[in-house]
Amino acid sequence: MARKKSAGTKPVPRRRRDPKVTPRDYLEKHTKKELIEFILEIANKHPQIAKQLSDRTNLDKGNISQVTATIRQEIQALEPDGYDDVDSGSDDFDSIHERLCKLLDSGHPDAVVDLGAEFIRIAPLRYEYDHTDDWGISCGIENCLEVIVKALTLSSLSPAEQLIWYIDAVMDDNYCIFDNVKDITQNKRYKKDDWAAVRAVLEDRLEQLANPAEGSKRSEHYQRERLARWVETAMEKSGNERDAIDLLKREAPITHCYPQLVTALLSAKQREDARQWAIKGFTQTIDKLPGIAWRLVTQLKEMARQGKEPDAVAALLALEFFYRPDIHLYRELKKNIKPQKQWDIIRTGLLTYLETGKRPDPQKKEITAKWPLPATGLLLPTTTRRNYFPDKTTLIDIAIDEKRPDEVLKWYRQQRWSSHYHHTDDKVADAIKRHYPEETLAIWKRVAEWEINRVKPAAYQVAAPYLKKMRALYRKLKRSDEWNNFLASLKAKHKAKRRLMEILAKL
């Protein structure tokens, strides 16, 4: 219902709004002299505006030396004199980025590239001195690098020289600052002839680089490996893939680039050659560079899968199991072996190995009745890896996975109890609680009491889940009185521990 107007009220006249005055309106009312004085006054109060005016003046006059000198000073200020001087070094990447952009927009890409070399050397050192804002440093460096790389592609350097400048910068990058910057080597503007020129320069460097001595630092191998990878890239992009494979074959014994060689051979559809190099590479690296060796095994497994050779895949999985037994490999092996009769034979061999350390496979020999998988051609080292047998941890995991509580308890009783790691205790207790409830209660009680005796509030929180599990099992067994007596004994024994009492009160 509409309201009735009161007889005594009068309409209030609307207030007229003042016309909106924009900054342009304000400035247009002043003379040129007044505007100059106004701008100078603001510049005196705001140093950033003064810098922008100075930069614009110098760039308009073509005096870029003053601008580049200022940017170089800001770049050098990124590196403090030491840890005590970290606050005095400017990390104002925004100012550097803004000035580099203006320099580039004014048509001076060569000057930006020249400054870029110094920036790439100094800027990452901020990570060494300032750990309070790594994200800010990363973003600041990335923004500046994008301008520098763009300037590189617009510079007077030839296309081949641009690529070499970029490759050198990436190779010297120990802080991964180029990871999120657009990779110019993927730019199609660089033709095969450009890459051929790059190849010639990099190949010459590789020939002059001395081979790492036996037992030398990994960093020396890595330096040669990175250079060889760029030579390989230049060969491929210049249309000489075959030369790239030959290079990898020469470098593999030196830099251990066997996985890259295998990949290149597979791409060239040289499957058998790839397999032989994978086997050779495994032999050369398993002792001191096992990570590379097992990457080669992964490649061999993939080749076997593609060739529909399930027994070869299983044989390689078994080899890995003998090197580092664990339940995941055991499951994968079982999944890859058919029929069941064959798995039963292999399973017996695996369990025997875990108990005695004696491998069931003939290694260099052919298939036998006791081991129906083919030889892999790969030999594991006998002295570098120390396995202790019986391997109770893996035997327990397998027994739990196969739901054999008797075996779980058998191997658990033989295992040395660790007071600092309860995961095995808990999973054993859960696995045997149906058949051995007393053993389960004893395990949880031991863990809970050990944590309580540490006399730390955090330890009381760790003990609580085990006490709750005890309570649930006691009730399931219809023995609540025993639980109540145990809880009462804990409260009496530890009544001075206020934080523990709070937890026990909730049980």
Three-state secondary-structure class, residue 25: helix
Q: Is residue 70 part of a domain?
A: yes
Q: Are 372 and 340 in contact (CB under 8 A)?
A: no
Please report which confidence band the pLDDT of residue 87 belongs to, taking 50, 70 and 90 as the band edges: very low
User: At a CB cut-off of 8 Å and minimum separation 6, what does 184 contact?
Assistant: 149, 152, 153, 162, 163, 166, 190
Backbone angles phi, psi at 482, to 5 degrees: -65, -40
Residue 113: which pLDDT band, with cuts at 50, 70 and 90?
Answer: very high
At 368 the pLDDT is 66
Domain stops at, among 129, 164, 185: 185
User: 430: exposed, middle or buried (C-beta count within 10 Å: 0-12, 13-18, 19+)?
Assistant: middle
Residues in the chain: 507
The residue that leads in pLDDT, 241 or 156, is 156
The 10s digit of each residue's pLDDT in 232-290 is: 999 999 999 899 999 999 999 999 999 999 999 999 999 999 999 999 999 999 998 99
Higher pLDDT pick, 146 / 63: 146
Residue 392: half-sphere exposure toward Cβ, Cα within 13 Å = 13
- Residue 430, Cα to own-chain centre: how many angstroms? 34
Determine, yes or no, domain membership for 100.
yes
Residue 466: inside a domain, yes or no?
yes
CA distance 58 to 221: 48
| Residue ending a domain, choose from 126, 158, 185 | 185
Number of compact structural domains in the chain: 2
- How far apart are alpha carbons 23 and 41 in whole angstroms? 16
Residue 135: which domain range? 62-185
Mean pLDDT of 383-387: 56
399, 415 contact by CB (below 8 A)? no
In a domain, 426, yes or no: yes
Task: Give the model confidence (pLDDT) of 124-135 as tens digits.
Answer: 988 877 666 778
Pick from 410, 383, 386, 382: which is nearest to 398 by CA? 410
**CB neighbour burial string for 436-454, b if at least 16 within 10 angstroms, e if fewer:** bbebbbebbebbbebbbee
Q: Where are the beta strands (DSSP E) in 378-498?
A: none
Task: With respect to residue 131, please indicate whether it lies within any of the assigned structural domains.
Answer: yes
Residue 241 forms part of a structural domain: no
Task: Find which of 78-92, 157-171, 385-399 is predicted with most confidence, using mean pLDDT.
Answer: 157-171
Residue 4, domain member (yes or no): no
Evaluate if residue 58 carries a pLDDT over 80. no
Residue 333 to residue 311: CA distance in whole angstroms: 10
Three-state SS at 59: helix
By three-state DSSP, how is residue 368 classified? strand
d(CA 145, CA 147): 5
- Report the predicted TM-score, pTM, of the whole model to 2 decimal places: 0.76
Q: For residues 378-389, b (16+ Cβ closer than 10 Å) or e, as one string? A: bebeeeeeeeee
Eight-class DSSP state of 312? H
Last residue of a domain, one of 185, 212, 229: 185
Query: Tokens for 203?
Result: 């190949």
134-166 as b/e, with b when 16 or more CB fall inside 10 Å? eeebbebbbbbbbbbbbbbbebebebbbbbbbb
- Establish if 95 belongs to a structural domain: yes
